[in-house]
A and B are shown apart, each in its own frame.
Chain A
Amino acid sequence: MIENYLIHILILIGIYIILAVSLNIALGYTGLLNLGHIAFFGIGAYTSAILTREGIPFILALIISCIIAGCFGFLLVWITKRLKGDYLALATLGFSFLIYSLMLNLSSITNGPLGISGISRPNIFGYFLKSNFEFLLFVIFIAIISCMIMYAIIKSPFGRLLHATRDDELGLRVLGKNTIKIKYKAMIISSLFAGLAGSLFAHYNGYIDPTSFMLNSIIFIFTIVIVGGIASFKGSIIATFILFIIPELLRFFAIPSHVLGPTRQIIYALILIGILLFKPKGLFGRIDLE
């Protein structure tokens, strides 16, 4: 059914908008080359799946997922606070691998490579979101609230400090600002919302395994942010739509299903390279990086 299919895509778009915008807070606004964002997404997904499996109500599990992901965000800055640029990218990539291998190897709680299945649909104060349509409404609601909060933050005086941290950290310290503290705050916000997106993802899919939170996914969300534009709020949202819809158009060509996955990866890679070559600021970005 075409509507069901549309609803499915829209739910994923809603979840990925939260994920992409939150990555943009760290990567675009604060200038932290963070390749660990997908790990926060995974941490949120696993936390929520495990907690609801143990009988914790969905809403509480969702909140705890955000908090746990936020704690890991804090931890990541604590470990990497002296690093910049390429070194930070490598260290955060290492963090992604670390979390991935924990998901894979802490079998007693994560069920290892088999993943966790049978994750319950959200139950909101006694109301089950059984249909995908209801789930979509819930995702839209959460995505709008999340975007409003993140938008308010980046437009506030604190948001101005994020831009300044990215543009010239030392210059900002000389103006009396503790830039390490600013980075902690930025990363905690960023990871908290990634955890939220992860929780939604787990409860929508009903099944998660470590492969959803690996390199492919890192490249995908980076592509969204870069296509939309570094530090462009609108850009991240629109690019999420574009990057979900373009590969779906492939379905109209009679491409055999077993090459669909690789074709999609190739398309993302081509889009990423094309943007980097011809429009390095992204579709809506105005930020000028050194």
Chain B
Amino acid sequence: MPTLKIDGKEITVEKGTTIIRAAEQLGVEIPHYCYHPGLSIAGNCRMCLVEVEKMPKPQIACHIQCLDGMVVHTQTKSVQKLREHILEFLLVNHPLDCPVCDQAGECRLQDYYMKHGLYDSRLNENKVKKSAKAVPIGPTIMLDSERCILCSRCVRFTDEISKTGEFGIFNRGDHSEIGIYPGRELDNKYSGNVADICPVGALTDRDFRFKCRVWYLAKTESICPGCARGCNITVEANLERPHHANGERIMRLKPRFNGEVNDWWMCDAGRYGYKFIDHDRLLEPLIRNQGTVQTTGWNDIVEEVIKSLKGVLKKSKDELAVLVSPEMTNEELYLAKKLFVKELGLERVLLLRTKADGDQDDLLIRSDKHPNRKGAEWIGFEESKRAIQEVIDQGLKGGLKGLILFGQDLAALYPGRNVEDLLQRLDVSVFVGSNHNLTSEHVQFILPAATYAEKNGTFTNFQGRVQRIREAIPPAGQSKAESEILTLFADHLKLDWSYENEEQIFDSLRRSVPQFQGMNYSKIGREGVPVE
């Protein structure tokens, strides 16, 4: 294990560690462009040059491995001068695009130039113009090769991570240019990541394009609900300037590093799967009565639902089914179990998916498109196709009197069955969910629920890692988190639940479900905790 000194601070690192990584551990930042911890070393941008004593020339910190007794300087006059010159070279052909560039505000060229810039330009030459500006190179990404600094991160990403190999650097010298191989387009399941890793504005996200400026965004750490992987993400919202993007609040999702789950990446389905948060939402409690729809208040609707449920329960407990979903958080599933199984004594509280299974690959994507199936299983809900079929059969025969759905679009899940007819036959049908769908159009009571971006809680991913989602934006309209809705039911049933927030629910959850033992919100923190 070599011990070395960086800027006078001593550190011992694993053999094979590069200087840039050792410096990172010490909290010394070495400017860099081409180096990315998730990709192979290219060593082409030269921004990371540092001085190493006894070495005749400056060395690139991203490539040189630490040796015992090394003495590294990252802040000397000559290193600073080198950075100025490297930046000068990088900017030789760079357009002055910052005002129209979506990267502005999170651009490494801007950041480093502020710190290490030359400021007095010595260049009087004409820039070598690359091909056309602002070319869509696929459904998700826009390329502006003029802005590219040829760091090759995108090339390495498509070669090493997505293994699709669309990018290449063409021509030589001053005329080198980033591009897509002829006849191809950047269309893979992880394409959005290249916009994240491009240190400049050469690759930008078409979905985010011109929606708003990055410094308007409020960032909240959360978990992608797109599949059982549970990639760590940052939800980026624009709340203060609603005139942008037609009042949409969520502007984009970005992956957040978690070495145990998703490294630096996320898939496109997850990245662009946020639109439902600001579109087609159920905004207020609704009661449907013989064709007419009436909006009402929360207390009234809960009162009504309980009255109807009691009517059904008086006759038989067998004629009421509750379908919870693996999209609900651990806290909500725990409350659902407590309310419907323990307090009301129902036998048919079943787990039912909200989405069909999809594709799976070796990188991130899981075929199970729900974020919390593992958690549901731990809490005691196992999805059984047969049990659900029985409910539907019974319903179609008229043997079912009440049905409570948590977000499932029965009509879409069972297109062959006459779900509409089933719902018509019920005495009481309740839909707790965030968005309009075919099923919500036919139920009697609609209780609008908050989406994952509007509430707190935890999901358990397929590895058994418990991770936190956080409220990034307030619930739309009058919608409420399912945990709040369930607590409201408990209040109206005069049950003594004294939960003030999700954290308290989690505290009682961990006491009753062994897998969650010893966990709490502060332990789960930013990265989540695996079950032992």
Question: Do A and B share a complex?
Answer: no
Interface residues of B (CB under 8 A from A): none
Interface residues of A (CB under 8 A from B): none
